[in-house]
A = this chain, B = another copy of it.
Amino acid sequence: MRGFGPGDSFLADCPARLAVELIADKWTVVVLAGLSKGPVRHGELIELIGGISRKVLTQTLRRLKAHGLVRRHAYAEAPPRVEYELTPLGATLIDPIHILTEWARANGDAVLDALDADSEPVAHHG
């Protein structure tokens, strides 16, 4: 267990705290993962992610754009085409997110098992 050390708290008012709260959103990690392979269209993300509504996807992308992690490129075509891609800053988040999702892939079942064990506290100890 590495821990964060005494001066490492980041639990107060430093910008790191803000950055963590920025990406620790229900959809942000998934959206960034969806953008990790290159420019993707709005509709592609909708289908790729699965479960996110257009409204929330738009909001998430706008927030990421405002924070400099995502760039929006709207083509003046018909039907309209809008592509989103990671900025260089956003690209630096891919490795951390990749590590996180690797953890999730490796431990997702363990989490489900724990959830299972917890939801049946019916001690039939006989």
Interface residue ranges, A against B (CB under 8 Å): 1-5, 9-30, 33-34, 36-38, 48-50, 65-69, 86, 89, 91-105, 107-115, 117-119
Cβ 8 A contact of A93, one of B26, B97, B103: B103
Contact yes or no, A113 B68, CB < 8 A: yes
Q: How far, in angstroms, from A111 to B107 measured CA to CA in the complex?
A: 30
Contact yes or no, B92 A107, CB < 8 A: yes
What are 18 A-to-B residue pairs whose CB atoms are below 8 Å?
Answer: A2-B95, A3-B94, A4-B37, A4-B101, A9-B48, A11-B48, A17-B30, A19-B105, A19-B111, A24-B24, A24-B30, A25-B26, A66-B115, A69-B114, A89-B107, A96-B102, A96-B103, A100-B100
Contact yes or no, A30 B11, CB < 8 A: yes
Contact yes or no, A98 B2, CB < 8 A: yes
Closest partner residue, chain B, to A103 (CB atom): B96
Contact yes or no, B16 A108, CB < 8 A: yes
Closest partner residue, chain B, to A85 (CB atom): B1
